[in-house]
Amino acid sequence: MGPLTGFKVIEMAGIGPAPFCAMLLSDMGAEVVRIDRKSAADLGVDMPARYNVSGRGRRSVALDLKSPDAVAAVRKLAAQADALIEGFRPGVMERLGLGPEELLTVNPKLVYGRVTGWGQTGPLAKAAGHDLNYIALTGMLHAIGPAERPVPPLNLVGDFGGGAMYLAFGVVCALLEASRSGKGQVVDAAMVDGAASLGAPVYGMYGAGLWKDQRADNLLDSGAPWYDVYQTKDGKFVSVGAIEQRFYDLLLKTLGLEDDKYRDRGHDNWPVLREAFNSAFRSRTRDEWCAIMEGTDICFAPVMSLAEAPSHEHMAARGVFVEQDGVVQPAPAPRFSRTREAIQSPPPEPGQHTEEVLRDWGFTEQEIEALRG
């Protein structure tokens, strides 16, 4: 029984941050019903449903939203829901007759969560885009990568960090407020807002003159030699984050770099340190360095591949990854001492639970038959 058990959420099927947000809410115990089109959303890949990990934990209802009866069915579902989340461009839900004004009329306590790239307002609000474009506008993409060029950080900063996480946070905040006020509201989660918010510490350091507006020349962007990734003798990689002086001293001692010239951490000495660190780490394999450094206060970890990560001793001991229906995937997070998070079910096929959900949510057999027709 997760901490969100008892809350009912409607997810309008799409791609990107909204499905990931729905997974987070479901993992915490919410009952999530996904409203699918007749065919699966265009993910750009042909992938069986069971591999759609971010689609886990909810039931699917397939409706033709061009039909007035189907739109009326969504309104009836929304009248019983605590929250609805959608990730369309501004105006799409309104054109369907399912915008906030319509749904808050039938359910004044509904939390209406909207996630987009540019936001619901602003000059670019209705323009197309993807994760990479949104984080480009925030300064965050500029700050990530080697000196020569920015590097796309998967979809972690925009779609999932700046979008889904902020949508989930916003929805839960609004649910808490609605429990006191009895009133719902709209949550406008924009990836440009969220990604910029994630960069708050960097902007703070930049304002204080402690961060240069160029890549690979700062404390946390691979500029500082003691906070970077190094290749080992076998071509694999290890990570080192020895920021604090006592951790740095231990790193030098373990690498055998105890000459006084390595104690100078000034910017002008970074090339000397980097050359020494590169040479030292290439002298042993990744596993050999793990045997020496892992578990110490150096702030060290091997760089694990996707295939390797689930079987690492620490990850396995904590159960960070689980296997469901033959698919290895991250377990729900975070963890709770009393209300247990859990994967509720495998990802559904579109429309797999249409009639089941409608019955559970109070539709009569006559209403279901009319929709079937």
Just list the catalytic residues: 130, 159
Distance CA 84, CA 11 (A): 6
CA 265 to chain centre: 35
DSSP structure string for 312-358: SHHHHHHT-EEEETTEEEEPP-S--SSS-----SPPPPTTTTHHHHH
Distance CA 263, CA 273 (A): 9
Distance CA 84, CA 72 (A): 15
Distance CA 224, CA 217 (A): 7
Are 326 and 346 within 8 A, CB to CB? no
Q: Please give the span between the terminal C-alpha atoms of the chain, in angstroms, as a whole number.
A: 37
Distance CA 143, CA 141 (A): 5
Are 20 and 164 within 8 A, CB to CB? yes
Burial of 35 (0-12, 13-18, 19+ CB in 10 A): buried
